[in-house]
Structure 1
């Protein structure tokens, strides 16, 4: 860490797929309101050629350029790397996290954090033993827009008591046409919609129906229904039933693209609609008050250059600079709550992974 007022974090990027390309492009952005300085120190890929092409395509103007390695192990061993960003498919997360932790590196691991809650607990136990920071990269929670939404719902009670939330994330993936080793089709990689996209619908449900996180949160009854073929789910519906009577109806599908308005929250004093390219990346929400006749809502937006992954990266840098090993917005217990919920949904719905 430097003596600069802003904490500086040197990143090692594990894997060169789409999500990693989004992440490095966001790290490389120049932002006047940045809360940290991010250095892309190293890229780990299956080959130096592939890693070099990744740098040339997505971050050609980063100076100095990152060191490109033809293996992940070399990134873990790189002394100038403070933290590893894990952008591999779900099925590799446990091994990648454990390898980085054993090398003494901090970790930001993409969602879903692991294939099941048992794997997640094993990773957190290793992080605790080694005293390193680790967090699931559920970037949506770090959007200022989402935090404004939570403040209005929970602190200001802008729509009163919440009765229901509907949230859907659907994509037209054409899974049937993919090869058996595709991350969307191979059960060993955590294929299916639940871990890939329904986790975002679930996240909106949890953020809306409970102001608390992790162990302090309520425990709703969980009902899970899945459309399953060859052990993977093509569609999932989760029903969260809270003791208060409030309900979350949270869904995903690989067969249809969700319209721009992906979420509706209903309260006794009004309702909110949330919109964006998907439930993972909201761009605006509109609050309608019954007192105003629900005719003209108040629209909330936040300026968002790039993809919006830098907000979670800034939070991680601040935590590490302060000596913290977990983040308050996405603590370990919250990841475990999500993994436990998804395990139960799969138990009821029928999707299975070989590690189960």
Structure 2
């Protein structure tokens, strides 16, 4: 059966924490896999960093990927079909454009770019080149997420959705970080909103509306942010739809709790447990003694589900994914642009 699955060859751009999670997940043996993934190349800012990354996270890979001391060499490697970009937000636009120029397909970490204008520029380049590009919003591809949305919107298990509350809070010890940290430097896209608030916003959008991108309703936005040293440490936003609303919050100053999301409907409610980016279970409440809990097994962290989707799309000759199309990436960034406009967080790239 495995031989019949599509196979894609990956090039990894950057060797930080998120890239380590991604490659380890591609190595996981699992029964539900829908594609074969081969890591052919790793590109880092130096040969030494790349070597250390491979020794630590890919020593069991067969064959061992080629290690490059630059990203450009990955883009030029003819044995690489698709690149995974795990650099800080501020570099995503240029990394994507460079990969696209070389005809590579792209899976780029969230937030896809600093703002919606940058995203449009990337997608225009991808359209001209005819390559596949997707934002790596892995949470949308979890079986838990897909099952929840079916119960919520198709089966209307809690009736009509009226309110959604979602929070993502992590104490990132911001005060102790140096000015060049990606969590502290505005030029690198620092702040709570792009780093973790995007997850709170994503859950609210998915639960309040069945449409994606251009087919989705446009909510009114009311937002506030707390700024320390020019970056947003706390962001809060109201999404106002006719007859329903979402309350979206995030913070890098305190640690949040689970359940992280509550969905309230005309006939009950749902609570989602785990981390906002990595859900573990949800419980449907339809009365004092009427509850049902859904739990989901996952052998690794869960990055492989989005990787499978990329492989299937590329094999099918698609340039966009149905779950995370280009217009949905732009929509989320437009909302975050508006939250920052009202809240006050600015990046140097906004003036470009």
Relative to the length of structure 1, the TM-score reads 0.97
Structure 2 residue aligned with 1:341, among 335, 340, 343?
A: 335
Contact 1:131/1:325, CA 8 A, preserved across alignment: yes
Superposition pairs of residues 78-227 of structure 1, within 5 angstroms: 78-227=77-226
2:258 maps to what in 1? 260
For 1:109 and 1:237, how far apart are their aligned partners in 2? 26
1:253 and 1:319 mapped to 2: Cα distance? 35
Structure 1 Cα separation of the partners of residues 166 and 57 of structure 2 = 32
- Quick one: distance in 2 between partners of 1:222 and 1:247? 10
Choose the corresponding residue for 1:324, options 290, 310, 318: 318
1:297 and 1:90 map into 2 onto residues whose CA distance is: 40
Structure 1 equivalent of residue 43 of structure 2? 44
Give the aligned CA root-mean-square deviation in angstroms: 0.9
Query: How far is 1:223 from its partner?
Result: 1.1
Query: Is the contact made by 1:97 and 1:123 (CA closer than 8 Å) also made in structure 2?
Result: yes
Counterparts of 1:288 and 1:261 in 2: how far apart (Å)? 13
CA deviations over 1:73-132 (Å, ceiling 9, x no partner): 000000000000000000000000000000000000000000000000000000000000
Distance in 2 between residues matched to 1:294 and 1:118, nearest whole Å: 48
Q: How far does the alpha carbon of each residue in 1:199-227 deviate from its partner, in whole angstroms, 9 at most, with x for none?
A: 00000000000011010000110111100
Total equivalences in the alignment: 349
* CA deviation after TM superposition for structure 1 residue 4, in Å: 4.2
Give the C-alpha shift of residue 296 in structure 1: 4.2
The Cα shift of 1:255 comes to 1.0
Q: Secondary structure at the match of 1:355?
A: helix
Partners of 1:230 and 1:75 in 2: CA distance: 36
Q: Secondary structure at the match of 2:237?
A: strand
Corresponding residue number in structure 1 for 2:246: 248
Moved over 3 A (4+): none
For residue 32 of structure 1, report the CA deviation from its aligned partner.
1.7
Q: Any idea what SS the aligned residue of 2:293 has?
A: strand
Q: Any idea what SS the aligned residue of 2:4 has?
A: coil
Residue number among 292, 303, 307 corresponding to 2:301 in the alignment: 307
Partner of 1:13, secondary structure, is: strand
**Which residue is 1:280 aligned to?**
277
- The answer (yes or no) to whether the contact 1:46–1:71 under 8 Å persists in 2 is yes
**1:231, distance to aligned residue in structure 2 (A):** 2.1
Deviations 1:114-157 (A, max 9, x none): 00000000000000000000000000000000000000100000
5+ residue gaps, structure 2, are none
How many Å separate the matches in 2 of 1:295 and 1:326? 44
Offset of 1:230 from its aligned partner?
2.6
1:5 Cα deviation from its structure 2 partner: 2.0
Q: Aligned with 1:179: secondary structure?
A: coil
